[in-house]
A and B are shown apart, each in its own frame.
Chain A
């Protein structure tokens, strides 16, 4: 039996439809999923179904669920795998995406109908790795302030309404990974509806006046209250001028030992 303490994670997430979808009376196309494994792993993914894709939400949901369950299974096996090793994480994510694509190909309506971006993470007490296709962002933050944040930044085409999807034929060339070390105890994942107001300096860093109050509130409140407040914040009318897109944000904090999650 390992003498290392098993770390657990406090996770707060919310997904709200954008003003564009609300005004049109239709639901959002973002989705997120996460799981904490028995060995202290945390796996999460957020996906943004493309507005031009007929079944973007379904694609987003399937690929998120598939990746999360696959990574939890792989990293919970008896073999010791390091989740900050991108050479291990990337092929595992690729296998899960291939599996989702294979399943969707059976629908015979073309993968394009299920287009979605993905940004996700696997982490434990020794660090972690982001995996990413398209826009949205992942941020790993050292809340002691000793280290600069590690940010998996959005990837767009030349034009702002062009990005990359797991359903693209060349999706593997756009699957990026970015590892981070154990000092980073807080992780944010967000879709492109959140990046315009949560990131600063050209989408390269988390915006401190956004992140610090959010982190303070989530650390001090229980998950139910935190998720309620997050959903309300993401639906604030002042965001309308910034973006009309769906908005999804997942915050996670690694807790030492087996401390109960408040």
Chain B
């Protein structure tokens, strides 16, 4: 039996669905030294892992925002397809304006969704991924309320990760999902998990839900 398909047929290549993912990185003074070095290494792993996956490299779009300094919230990497993502080198100093960072993430996601809609690009529910080792030093409560309200309206999914002495109670105010505590400085494992999870998420077909990977490789569990 022939294994030939229909001759001369050409496929349309509709733009793949996108999975927008914002990574918020605590670049305050307490992260300086080994923690920020490990985090930067983790970002490189994220870059390599996503680039190594044909589908995820086309579908995942990343934005990296750092918060630190003197109340500085900076877009380190603007919306970039994973295939073109280059891990930034984050430097740490100053305080922890987590509220401002979350506000910026919400605003950037709104803008990006409008861009998708005006270009008829299908997209999955965006992810916000916040890593912090301290407690917010700005007026974070309103941002937390806005964040949790948007999540209830299914506008995004928020993952909080606390490092070291992070104030987990305050981090928990940003989502109904309990924040996870990083075990030691397992940033490598954390970013491997993140890349694996967004790879899965970027491939979810209609009618499916995304099964998150098991975070046990990096998450510390209270005794």
Q: Which residues of A contact B (CB under 8 A)?
A: 18, 20, 48-53, 56, 115, 117, 134-135, 156, 158-163, 165, 192-193, 195-200, 202-203, 207, 209-210, 213-214, 217, 228-230, 232-233, 236, 238-245
Tell me if A51 and B5 are in contact (CB < 8 A): no
Known: A160-B17, A229-B5, A241-B54. A196 touches B12 (CB 8 A): yes
The minimal Cβ–Cβ distance linking A152 to chain B, given in whole angstroms, is 16
Query: In this complex, what residue of B is CB-closest to A53?
Result: B207
Question: Which residues on B sit within 8 Å (CB–CB) of A241?
Answer: 13, 54-55, 58
CA distance A99 to B124 in the complex (A): 33
- Give the A-binding residues of B (Cβ under 8 A): 1-14, 16-17, 54-55, 58, 120, 122-125, 154, 203-210
* Complex A-B, nearest 8 residue pairs according to Cβ-Cβ distance, in ascending order: A50-B207, A160-B122, A51-B208, A233-B5, A209-B10, A197-B11, A160-B17, A207-B12
**Contacts known (A202-B120, A233-B6); A162 close to B206, Cβ less than 8 A:** yes
Cα–Cα, bound, A160→B201 (Å):
11
Contact A232 B3 (CB under 8 A): yes
Contacts of B16 in A (CB 8 A): 242
> Which of A53, A160, A210 is the one whose CB lies under 8 Å from B124?
A160
**B203 contacts which chain A residues (CB < 8 A)?**
20, 244
For residue A162, give the distance in angstroms from its CB to the closest CB of chain B.
Answer: 7
A242 to B16, CA, bound (A): 7
Of A161, A198, A214, the most chain B CB neighbours within 10 A belong to A161
A85 to chain B, nearest CB (A): 30
B residues near A198, Cβ cutoff 8 Å: 11-12
A18 to B8, CA, bound (A): 22
- Beyond the given A48-B206, A233-B6, could you list 15 further A-B residue pairs with CB under 8 A, ordered by the A residue number? A56-B207, A134-B206, A135-B206, A156-B122, A160-B124, A161-B205, A161-B206, A197-B13, A210-B10, A217-B7, A229-B4, A229-B5, A232-B2, A233-B5, A236-B5
Closest to B12 in A: A207
Q: Which residues of B contact A48 (CB under 8 A)?
A: 206-207
In the complex, what residues of B have CB within 8 A of residue A197's CB? 11-14
Contact B209 A210 (CB under 8 A): no
Query: Is B12 a contact of A51 with CB atoms below 8 Å?
Result: no
Pairs across A and B, CB under 8 Å, 20 listed: A51-B207, A52-B207, A115-B207, A159-B123, A159-B125, A160-B124, A161-B17, A162-B206, A163-B207, A199-B12, A207-B10, A207-B11, A207-B12, A210-B9, A213-B8, A228-B1, A229-B6, A232-B3, A236-B5, A241-B55
